[in-house]
Chain A
């Protein structure tokens, strides 16, 4: 008999504040401040034009994160679908009213007072919606193929819009985060094998439909020397920045590759080479370790939650963070093609920071409300 259990006491605000995960917040602070430091260095030792706005936005984002963290998980549960639909509508909107941004890609919506990037927010919204979808579904149901039709569509719809923008990096992240969620939800493993094989078979078709610059990125990834001054320049200079940093780095503000502008986009997608050039292998590995710790912390939060929504939300957000970090660092190291994914909390850019911090807020919310059970059939407010 399904019913809302009141066996656990409803947490009050004071109690919630006491439950705030201070260690996690400390990690977030360290990451955000490290970003501020890197941007200060990127501007040759100046707070302008990047470090100061970054730190101000980070301060606001911390408040947003804490506020989100105190919101009852059931509110997030209730908001999951509306948020997803809103973001999907906004993504459709950028196709119509979008402003041409970097590389001619339509990624921004100008709301007058702030430009937002719906694709960044969609990364959170998709995780929410999938968690919401799987919350009431038991393993028997999940194992049925028809149960998967809706979540697959939920993943493919925004992916398609983002791909149209075109934004390869975000579409890959949406696909991979969605796939990870389907996987942890309990979808049969052979399905993944089938999709992987089908994907490999469809690769030529995908190649054919790719934009010229996307093809070029893939080609130059495979062999940067093809175009050393064009698209290969990014990868080559990024590797030089990393490699020349060595074990201990050249020292804060002493990176030659970044300070003499050899490293392109050093304040956004290519900020990791800047850090690794100045702080060396130890600095870069420490930052990776910090992100890994945050990601595993998120998984831990998920595994402690008593609601399936909370579990999947936390794990999804954690996977999302991991994907951000992995795709960004792997691409600057030349392990994967350059696809344009920022390094969260470090790269300069408002929407991605806000999106990541909102995600962290929800993660905190899952932690604080871990013992709250959400009805599978009749969620709060229905």
Chain B
């Protein structure tokens, strides 16, 4: 039949075509399996890594900051527990109600609640938002007790830096603060951790890298929304290294306390031989504990506006005209340059004439000091003697020696904020003012006035160098993680020993029968040698300047215009160990009146305590942490 034939024909065609379709399908299936093989076998390692990248989130665990201890092991920078209240919005059904209940316990202000709500809208519902930091024990226990009424509120323990000595060592130890945008470092992701603090000043800043420690890591499995499913592994970090200071906290405390009797003052007590700082005080100070928790802006403004500059470490960051203390450098410069001999003597009649200009001495009213040799010139602090020496020596020789004694450049103390001070020279004046140097300027500089400026630390360093004959460099860090950090083997100064000895003889004479005799230590074997200084700050004309020196103890001048009082000394005088420099800012009194008694007290205490012998870490017998 035709139709049967037609049907057979189309069946054969259908079978043929179906076979072709089937073949095509087989090819397509091979393509699929081939693709699967490529993805799941050939490229599998790559995709396994990508899958792990997806699901594994590395979290950094902030390391515990290293402690700072004094030379006796007494902690001066500690880590306290910081109790924080956090809220997880997805765990609380009614955020307003929960915050309301909480407000009854820790008094939340409307602005705080607004901030919390703002943070909540910005984060995912399972991410905790900070309600309040630095909760007290009472607040924590109240929150815990009321936990059933506070769904979603959790207490978290962090660390906050605390400074047991508060303002007494604030400038020395420094403080920590939040990492600023500029300080962020791509190589150090721990800096980006919320709440991570770094050293902002003092030892906290200098030794920040040691104190920081190494962040730990925690591998968390997270889902596509970033929610943590579980912790896969944890590698604890390494806590920051312990930093041991050369400072004797007892002495530091005493120094600070003593300075607080003055309106604004600074003191340095250091080891004459090693350069180790035993106390570095600047008063008034500030409470670094406030800084590490975040300082209120009104308090910050108040500190900034205070004319006693509590934020500045005056012992190292304040440059003052050194007054008569500078005469020690001028004397050595005179001797070293050959301008004067050891037997150089000057007759003081109260004035010194240079050209048509007259310079006055303190003893002008009394008809002058009479004829003085170098020792007595230093002891009586005769201005005329040093006008003469300065005039003979010349500013450039003075500058060279002053620099070698540590003036006019940073001493290299291992905390930030050091002022360079100023030791002028012809080159300096050319550079700074593009003007020639006048001989009259040397006369002012010779008594530590004019352009000369120095920090208490520089003055202390200068005397330590005289006392030891070595180029000691001051330092506050003794050990990091049990390892000595500072060298104590300083090179000898390139000055003739007899020249140095001549200056030391002058200092001994000053406290024996000179300007410093009133503050000499009475205890046998503890006598000090020293030098007073009284420095003018008022910007007088040259004529006024010289006249006003005669009657510089004016009580009616504004505080800011009053004289600075200096005293620098070392003890014991026959075997120099401790150097102490004291500056009383705008004391309005002679150095021997305002600064001398402070130096007396501190050098006496230093010798009684003898911190140079306190070296506890060696016999701690334990691994320093």
Partners in one complex: yes
Contact A243 B1, CB 8 Å, known A257-B51, A296-B22, A330-B32: no
**CB nearest to A141 among chain B residues:** B6
Given contacts A240-B54, A284-B36, A330-B32, contact A260 B223 (CB under 8 A): yes
Report how far A315 CA is from B44 CA in the complex, Å. 37
| Least Cβ–Cβ distance between B12 and chain A, in angstroms | 10
Would you give the shortest CB distance from B55 to chain A, in whole angstroms?
Answer: 5
Q: How far is the CB of B275 from chain A (nearest CB, A)?
A: 59
In the complex, identify which listed stretch (A45-53, A56-64, A179-187, A357-365) lies at the interface while the others stay far away: A179-187
Among residues 32 to 48 in chain B, which have CB atoms less than 8 Å away from a CB atom of chain A?
32-33, 35-37, 39-41, 43-44, 46-48
CB proximity of B453 to chain A, nearest CB, Å: 61
Contact flag A139-B10 (CB < 8 Å), given A180-B21, A184-B17, A333-B32: yes
Interface segment, A24-32, A107-115, A150-158, A244-252? A244-252
Q: Is B145 an interface residue (CB 8 A)?
A: no
Answer yes or no: B25 CB below 8 A from chain A CBs.
yes
Given A244-B47, A256-B54, A322-B25: A138 and B3 within 8 A (CB)? Answer: yes
A13 within 8 A of B: no
B221 touches A260 (CB 8 A): yes
- Contacting pair B6 A138 (CB below 8 A): yes
Within 8 A of B (CB), among A275-317: 276, 280-281, 284-285, 288, 292, 295-296, 299, 302-303, 308, 311-312, 315
Whether A243 and B18, one on each chain, are in contact in the complex, defined by CB atoms closer than 8 angstroms, is no
B29 CB–A CB distance under 8 Å: yes
Contacts of B55 in A (CB 8 A): 256-257, 260, 262
Are B36 and A281 neighbours in the complex by a CB distance under 8 Å? Answer: yes
Cβ of B295 within 8 Å of any chain A Cβ, yes or no, is: no
Nearest A residue to B15, CB-CB: A303
Please name the residue on chain A nearest to B13 by beta carbon: A186
B32 contacts which chain A residues (CB < 8 A)?
Answer: 288, 326, 329-330, 333, 335
* Interface residue A239 (Cβ < 8 Å from any Cβ of B): yes
Proximity bits, A154-191, B CB within 8 Å = 1, else 0: 00000000000000000000000000100111100000
B290 interface hit (Cβ, 8 Å): no
**Which residues from B are CB-within-8-Å of A242?**
36, 39-40, 47
Q: Does B300 sit at the interface, judged by CB under 8 A? A: no
Contact B40 A240 (CB under 8 A): no
In the complex, how many angstroms separate the beta carbon of A88 from the nearest chain B beta carbon?
A: 26
Of B3, B35, B40, the residue contacting A246 (CB under 8 A) is B40
Whether A243 pairs with B31 at a CB distance below 8 angstroms is no
The answer on a CB contact under 8 Å between A376 and B3 is: yes
Contact of A184 (CB < 8 Å), options: B7, B21, B229: B21
Do residues A308 and B7 form an inter-chain contact, with CB atoms below 8 A? yes
| B224 at interface by CB-CB < 8 Å | yes
- Decide: A243 and B10 in contact? CB cutoff 8 A: no
The reply on A241 being an interface residue by CB < 8 A is yes
Could you tell me the distance between the alpha carbons of A138 and B3 in the complex, rounded to whole angstroms?
Answer: 8
Distance of A105 Cα from B520 Cα, bound (Å): 99
Residue B149 interfacial (CB < 8 Å)? no
Q: Interface residues of B: mostly helix, strand, loop or mixed? A: helix
In the complex, B142 has a CB within 8 A of chain A: no
The answer to whether the Cβ of B75 comes within 8 Å of any Cβ in the partner chain is no
Which residues of B from 218 to 241 have beta carbons under 8 Å from A?
A: 221-225, 229
CA distance A281 to B54 in the complex (A): 21
B11 interface residue, CB < 8 Å from A?
yes
Q: With a CB–CB cut-off of 8 A, which chain A residues contact B50?
A: 240, 243-244
Given the complex of chains A and B, what is the CA–CA distance between A138 and B26 in angstroms?
Answer: 29
Contact call B44/A247, Cβ cutoff below 8 A: yes
Q: Is the CB of B21 within 8 A of A308?
A: no
**Which of A244, A312, A326 touches B44 (beta carbons < 8 Å)?**
A244
Q: Are B33 and A288 in contact (CB under 8 A)?
A: yes
Bound-state Cα–Cα, A246 to B3, Å: 56
Known: A243-B50, A244-B48, A308-B7. A260 touches B40 (CB 8 A): no
Interface range, A side: 35 or more
Q: Closest CB-CB distance, A58 to chain B, in whole Å? A: 24
Q: How far is the CA of A296 from the CA of B1 in the complex (A)?
A: 32
Contacts A296-B22, A299-B18, A311-B14 known; A260 to B39 CB distance under 8 Å?
Answer: no
A246 to chain B, nearest CB (A): 4
- CB-defined contacts of A285 to chain B, threshold 8 Å: 33, 36
Residues of B within 8 A of A312 (CB): 14
Given A140-B6, A256-B51, A333-B32, does the pair A281, B40 have CB atoms closer than 8 Å?
Answer: yes
Q: Are A315 and B18 in contact (CB under 8 A)?
A: yes
Residues in A whose Cβ lies below 8 Å from that of B46: 243
Instruction: Tell me if A144 counts as interface (CB < 8 A to partner B).
Output: no
Whether A335 lies near B10 (C-beta < 8 A) is no
Write the nearest CB–CB distance from A130 to chain B, whole angstroms.
Answer: 13
Cβ A335 vs Cβ B31 within 8 A: yes
B28 lies within 8 A of chain A by Cβ: yes
Contacts of B54 in A (CB 8 A): 237, 240, 256-257, 260, 262
Of all chain A residues, the one with the shortest Cβ separation from B33 is A285
Q: Which residues of B contact A280 (CB under 8 A)?
A: 40
Task: With A184-B18, A261-B224, A319-B21 as known contacts, state yes or no: A243 contacts B13, CB within 8 Å.
Answer: no
* Cβ contacts under 8 Å, A198 to chain B: none
Q: Residues of B contacting A261 with CB < 8 Å? A: 223-225
Q: Give the distance to chain B from A275, nearest Cβ to Cβ, in Å.
A: 11
Task: Name the B residues within 8 Å of A245 (CB-CB).
Answer: 40, 44
B554 within 8 A of A: no
Question: A2 in the interface, Cβ–Cβ < 8 Å?
Answer: yes
Q: A240-B54, A295-B25 are in contact. Are A186 and B10 (CB under 8 A)?
A: yes
B9 interfacial by beta-carbon distance below 8 Å? yes
Q: In the assembled complex, how far is the CB of residue A138 from the closest CB belonging to chain B, in whole angstroms?
A: 4
Closest Cβ–Cβ distance, residue B145 to chain A (whole Å):
37
Give 1 or 0 for each of B415-443: 1 = CB within 8 Å of chain A CB: 00000000000000000000000000000
Partner of B35, one of A139, A308, A335: A335
Q: A243-B43, A244-B44 are in contact. Are A326 and B36 (CB under 8 A)?
A: no
* Given known A-B contacts A138-B6, A240-B50, A183 and B17 have beta carbons under 8 A apart: yes
- Across the interface, do B44 and A243 meet the contact criterion of CB distance under 8 Å? yes
Q: Are B21 and A326 in contact (CB under 8 A)?
A: no
CB of A1 within 8 A of chain B?
A: yes
- With the chains together, A257 CA to B48 CA distance in Å? 10
- Give the distance in Å from the alpha carbon of A285 to the alpha carbon of B20 in the complex: 23
Chain A residues, Cβ within 8 Å of B3: 2, 138, 376
Residues of A contacting B7 in the complex (Cβ-Cβ under 8 angstroms):
138, 308
Bound CA span A181–B52, Å: 46
Judge if A142 is at the interface, Cβ distance under 8 Å.
yes
Beta-carbon contact of A243 and B6 below 8 Å: no
Q: Which residues of A contact B11 (CB under 8 A)?
A: 308, 311
With the chains together, A276 CA to B221 CA distance in Å?
Answer: 21
On whether the beta carbons of A243 and B39 are closer than 8 Å, the reply is yes
What residues on B are CB-neighbors of A138 within 8 Å? 3, 6-7, 9-10
- Provide the residues of chain A in CB contact with B1, threshold 8 Å: 1
Known: A260-B221, A322-B25. A241 touches B51 (CB 8 A): yes
A244-B51, A262-B224, A335-B31 known; A183 vs B21 contact (CB < 8 Å): yes
Bound Cα distance from A140 to B223, whole angstroms: 62
Contacts of B51 in A (CB 8 A): 240-241, 243-244, 256-257, 262
CB distance from A276 to the nearest CB of B (A): 7
Q: Give Cα A58–Cα B44 distance, bound, in whole angstroms.
A: 34
**Distance of A245 Cα from B41 Cα, bound (Å):** 9
A184-B21, A308-B14, A322-B25 given; name 8 further pairs at CB < 8 Å. A138-B6, A183-B17, A184-B17, A237-B54, A242-B39, A244-B44, A260-B54, A335-B32
Q: Can you list 15 A-B contacts (CB < 8 A)?
A: A142-B10, A237-B54, A240-B51, A243-B46, A245-B40, A259-B223, A260-B55, A262-B223, A284-B36, A284-B40, A292-B29, A296-B22, A299-B21, A303-B14, A311-B11
Residues in B lying within 8 Å of A, measured CB to CB: 1, 3, 6-7, 9-11, 13-15, 17-18, 20-22, 25-26, 28-29, 31-33, 35-37, 39-41, 43-44, 46-48, 50-52, 54-55, 221-225, 229
Leading 5 A-B pairs by shortest Cβ distance: A243-B47, A244-B51, A260-B223, A138-B6, A261-B224
